[in-house]
Amino acid sequence: MENAFWTTLLGEYQSRNATKMPSNKSVLVLGDTSCDSSTLIAKLKGCKATTAQRFGLQYDYLQVHDEYREESARLSIWTLVADPELNGLLKFALNERTFPHTLILLTLSMASPWTWMDQLQYWMKVLDNHIGGLEIDAGLKHQCKARLMAIWQSYSDPAGDPLRNSPCKRNHEPVPLPLEDVVLTSNLGMEVIVVVTRTDQMATLRGELNYRQDHFDFMQQAIRRACLQYGASLVYTSVKNNINCDLLLQYLKYRIYGLPFGTSASVVEKDAAFIPAGWDSVQKISILYESLSSCKPDDDYNSVIAQPSRGKHMPDRGIQTVDEQAFFARLQQELQEEVEIDEPLPRTSIGTGTSQWISEAADEDMQAVEKKSGGVGGVLTDFFKTLMIRKSFGGGDRPVEDE
């Protein structure tokens, strides 16, 4: 009787652990600095974004709560700074142990749409090379690729299937549908969500760069076709206008933890597009072709969405601060250049007798100082050089005492 009791208790404990939220899940955020991914992550966490500059590989986390199971889990968030020399840091966020538990969040910025295709191809190549260098079991990699294919083959619209997230359908296996030839031609075995940030900049593109509706439709069809290739989802967001930020958070929870999610795909609002993995197809994308009056779908992306020349207004990229030591060094260089082109000033003596002797003596001292320092500009140069030396040795500014 006692053995049966402990057997039952142990079985209940194992059953609870089997349904417990996993604690080893993570998100790897990639993208250019103009995407402002730190602000997006802060929005997902529900806190204010920090103004501190990010370096290397940054770690953050998101506390995820499942109300149905009354459990919580910590979702790790890794953000890699866009610098080719720092790609080696990927091994700390994406390795043999974390590979099957990591989701890729690839960010693109509406403030610079001419970089979309180059950025997407660059980061996918970085991931492909990195994953290829990992010693991942062949069977595990095959399972991850098959899981990604199953997501596309078994997709169903939440609006048309209200019991989709119900516990009673957990054991239901939908009939897999065949994939189109263009879907998952580059299967990394990892889920990818392409996030277009700062869609509020569409107004700037219209007003300053004369973008029309066919420009935005061309951009959307191009990125959607690329997402088919990698089996990626697509979400347009704007932290400034609070567009799709909560939707992205809920979709992340659904994709990673299987939590309920009931939002259907949406392509009506051009600044709030949402295309989950498995929904899109070549036929659906072709609807956008009808509005392309000045270009064709197969035109070179960078030819249609070209980077504006320097003479034209560039979309706002935020305020960029300059390092204090870099400012002093640049000012010193400018002063030296001015000294080289300055002509010597005429010199005159004032007064007679003793006063003239004092003036001449002072004049000789001044000539010695200017000769040593390289002119009047040299004196200023020495001044700024002294400031730089003091800063480099930690002198800094002295605190101001209260009177």
> pLDDT, tens digit, for every residue of 63-75?
999 888 788 999 9
Q: Between 310 and 122, where is the model more confident?
A: 122
Strands 274-275 and 233-236: antiparallel
In a domain, 274, yes or no: yes
Number of domains in the chain: 1
DSSP state of 183: T
Range 236-242 average pLDDT: 96
pLDDT of residue 170: 47
Neighbouring residues of 359: CB distance < 8 A, sequence distance ≥ 6: 349, 350, 351
Which candidate, 199, 201, 190, places its Cα nearest to that of 147?
190
Q: 394 pLDDT exceeds 60?
A: no
Helix/strand/coil for 72: strand
> pLDDT, tens digit, for every residue of 255-290?
999 999 999 999 999 999 999 999 999 999 999 999
Buried b (16+ CB within 10 A) or exposed e, 273-283: bbbbbbbbeee
In a domain, 271, yes or no: yes
d(CA 373, CA 28): 54
**CATH number, domain containing residue 273:** 3.40.50.300
Threshold 0.75, pTM exceeds? no
Q: 141 pLDDT exceeds 90?
A: yes
In a domain, 150, yes or no: yes
DSSP state of 243: B
Domain that holds residue 75: 23-157+180-304
Q: 400 pLDDT exceeds 50?
A: no
In a domain, 278, yes or no: yes
d(CA 254, CA 238): 21
In a domain, 104, yes or no: yes
d(CA 188, CA 103): 11
Band of residue 62 on the pLDDT scale cut at 50, 70, 90 = very high
> pLDDT, tens digit, for every residue of 310-347?
655 444 444 444 566 666 677 677 666 655 555 444 44
What's CA 232's distance to the chain center, in Å?
16
In a domain, 212, yes or no: yes
In a domain, 168, yes or no: no
Give the best-scoring range by mean pLDDT among 24-38, 222-236, 346-360, 373-387.
Answer: 222-236
Strand boundaries in 50-152, DSSP class E: 57-66, 71-80, 102-109
**C-beta of residue 302 within 8 angstroms of C-beta of residue 219:** no
Residue 151, token pair as written in the block: 């997501």
In a domain, 218, yes or no: yes
pLDDT of residue 99: 97
